[in-house]
Structure 1
């Protein structure tokens, strides 16, 4: 996904817009660490971690030190799911775009090796801050 598409989607109020004041971290500042495929609900959940901290954090987050934020995106009514491989390289290549028919097209990796699917909708499931080991 181009940086402008990523920021446009995640910078909106229903996603990370409020805590980042409309300017969320770039896709390269986020690490995909979690992929959950739920065939019962036809959904896919992606979990991301970033060291790019919110400019407008929730007040309760300020009660403890933190250097990382994680957030989860849920894609619902998933169709055309395809998995052709998975590894570090595929997890670092993320493309989420609008597709024909009011769908969202997701490609993690490439069509040759990775995960791809279409979804009817995408929502922010949760966010949390925490103190991660290592440099911030």
Structure 2
């Protein structure tokens, strides 16, 4: 599977959440059978980090976020870093994050 990359980062200060969306070419091994039946050959995954604390944003630029790192912390939290040219976002969040996926057809994005 080839990643097409991170497509968006949404910071919601009211809900104390950060949502990272990424699109991928190909289907994951555990894709629902109806995705294949509908002709999907790609998918979008949203990772929702909740109970965000210590949010730090150093720059926010138009080039896309290219690196996404996540590390488990001993207190049932995760440390997350998102970086790209001119952008650096760091925070801690409750673990594990929620994940949502939807099937797509190539050319639909």
Structure 1 residues 72 and 93: CA distance shift in structure 2, 3 A: same
Corresponding position of 1:72: 46
Taking CA–CA contacts closer than 8 Å with sequence separation of 6 or more, which of the two structures ends up with the larger relative contact order?
2
Give the CA deviation at 1:100. Answer: 4.0
| Correspondence list, 1:1-136, <5 A | 29=3, 31-87=5-61, 88=63, 91-109=65-83, 113-121=87-95, 122-124=97-99, 126-133=100-107
> Where does structure 1 lack aligned partners over 5 or more consecutive residues?
1-24
List structure 1 runs of 4+ shifted beyond 3 angstroms: none
Q: TM-score, normalised by structure 1?
A: 0.67
How many angstroms apart in 2 are the aligned matches of 1:102 and 1:133?
39
Q: TM-score, normalised by structure 2?
A: 0.81
> Where does structure 2 lack aligned partners over 5 or more consecutive residues?
none
Deviations 1:7-58 (A, max 9, x none): xxxxxxxxxxxxxxxxxx6xx7361112111111111111111113223421
